[in-house]
Amino acid sequence: MRKTNLHLPETEATTPRAIRCAVSFRPGGSQMILLRNSSDFQAMFPSSCDTFVALPPSTLGQRVVFGKNSDRPCDEVQEVVYFPAANHAAGTKVECTYIEIEQAPHTYAVVLSRPAWLWGAEMGANEHQVCIGNEAVWSRDDASDEEALLGMDLVRLGLERADNAQKAVDVIAELLEKYGQGGNCMEGTIFTYHNSFLISDRTEAWVLETSTKYWAAEKVEEGYRNISNQYSITTKIDREHPEMREYARSRGWWDEKDQFNFARVYSYMNTATIEASSRRYCEGRKMLEKSKGQITAETIMDILRDKESGINKEGMFMTTGSMVSVVPRNPCLPGVHYFTGTPDPERSVFKPFIFVKDIKQLKMTCSPCFGQDDPVKKKPRFQSKPDRKHPLFLKHEVVAAIIKSNKERGNKILQNMRKLEKEKMAEMEKHLSSGLEDCTLVVHLFSKTIEEELNVYSTS
C-alpha cells in the first residue's frame, strides 16, 4: 500500500501542528481518502474520544464510576468480547495485532470493547475491577508507522496482567520500553498516533500519557478526571520514565529554567493548561463539576450521549462504542460494567456485565473470525476489507435507520430502549448495594439483556 504523508497547518480546529496522515491507494491507483484541509481532517480522523472517571466524594456512594466513548470511522464495527482467566506455560508467546510478544504466566479475565479487526481494545475491564480506556494524543515526536504495539494492544495487556491500577501503569510502561508503540491504527487507511490512558480500580485512578517510549503518570485519589485527544498532565507528575526530562532537554524542548510541564513540553498544542483545553475536554469537565457529589452511572451515560458538546460524535468519524463501569470500593461487592456494542449511545442500550464464573463468549456481539486469512494478518496488509458486522450490529443498523426515517416509530423504539435500560440499572443497583446472592443468575446477564433489546426492536 503506497502512502503520502500530509502536513496540515495548525488552526483552532486541529490539535496537532503537523500530523502524519496518509492517502492510501488501492491496487490500480484509486485513492481511498484524500485530505485537502483541516475540515477534512476533522471529519475523517480522530478528533474525538473522551474518557471519564469519578471517585468519592464526587460520586454518590462509595463508588468509582468510569466511562468512555470510543470514536472511530463510521463503518468500523466494534464488538464486545469476553476472555476468561488463563495460565500459560513458560516461553509462551501471544500474538497481538501486529507483533508477537512474551506471554504472562497468568492472565486475568477481561471484557473488552474493541474494533473487530484488531487484537487489543479501546476500553474494557478485568475481574479485579480495573478499567482502562485510551486516547490518541499528538506529540512533538512523530508517531511511528513501524509495526509495534498499538495503544489498544496496551489496553488489553494492561487489563490481562494487572490486578490494580498502579500495576497497570507498570505493565504498560514496561511493554512500551521493551516493544515500543507504533503501527497503523485504522483498517485500510494509514494513520498513527501516540497514546494516553485513563486507568481506575476500586480505590484510585491514574492518567498515563506517552510519547514514543517516554511517559508521565498522574495519580487521582478523589474527585473526577477526564481525558481527550490531548496531553493533560502538567506539573503534577507522580511517576515518570527515568529519562523523560533529559530527552526533552536534549531535544531543546525544555531549558530547565521553568518548572517542568509535561503537556507543554511534549505537546504540539500552543498551550497545554487545562483551562485552555479543547471544547470537548472543557465541556466534559463542566458536566462532571455540575454533578459533583452526585455522579452516578446515569450521569456518565448522559455525558457520553451529549451531542452538543461533541462528546457523542456524529459523521464520518463517530462514536462506535461506549462503556460505563460502576465499581464499589467495598471489595465484597461486584462491579457492573455496561457496554453498548453498537454506535451512538443516544440510540443504544447500555447492557450490564458482571464477572462471575462460567461466562461464555458473548456471541451476539462477537464478529466473524477470519483467522490467518484475515487481510490484517496477511502482508501486505489491508488489501481487502471483510464484513465484520456481528449479529447485534446488524439488527441495530436496521433500527437506527428506522429511528432516523420514521419519527413516530423511532421515538417509540427509543422510549422502550430507555425503559429497558432503566429496568436493568435498577436490577444492578441491588447487586451493587447488597452483593450477589446467586452468581449463576448473572452468568448470561449481558446476553439476556441483548435478547430483551432485540425484542424491543421487533415489538416497538
Question: Which residues are identified as catalytic?
Answer: 49
CB contact at 8 A, 418 and 345: no
Residue 30: exposure state from Cβ atoms within 10 A (0-12, 13-18, ≥19): exposed
Least Cα distance to 229 among 268, 199, 260 occurs for: 268
Q: Residues 6 or more apart from 370 whose CB is under 8 A from it?
A: 377, 386
Cα angle, residue 248 at apex, residues 247 and 251 outer, rounded to 5°:
90
- 3-state SS of 268-324? CCCCCCHHHCCHHHHHHHHHHHHCCCCECHHHHHHHHCCCCCCCCCCCCEEEEEEEE
| Cα–Cα distance measured from residue 89 to residue 388, given in angstroms and rounded to the nearest whole number | 32
> How are beta strands 106-107 and 50-55 bridged, if at all?
unpaired
Return the SS3 of 144.
coil
Give the three cell numbers for residue 248.
526533552
Using CA atoms, how far apart are residues 173 and 214, in angstroms rounded to an integer?
Answer: 8
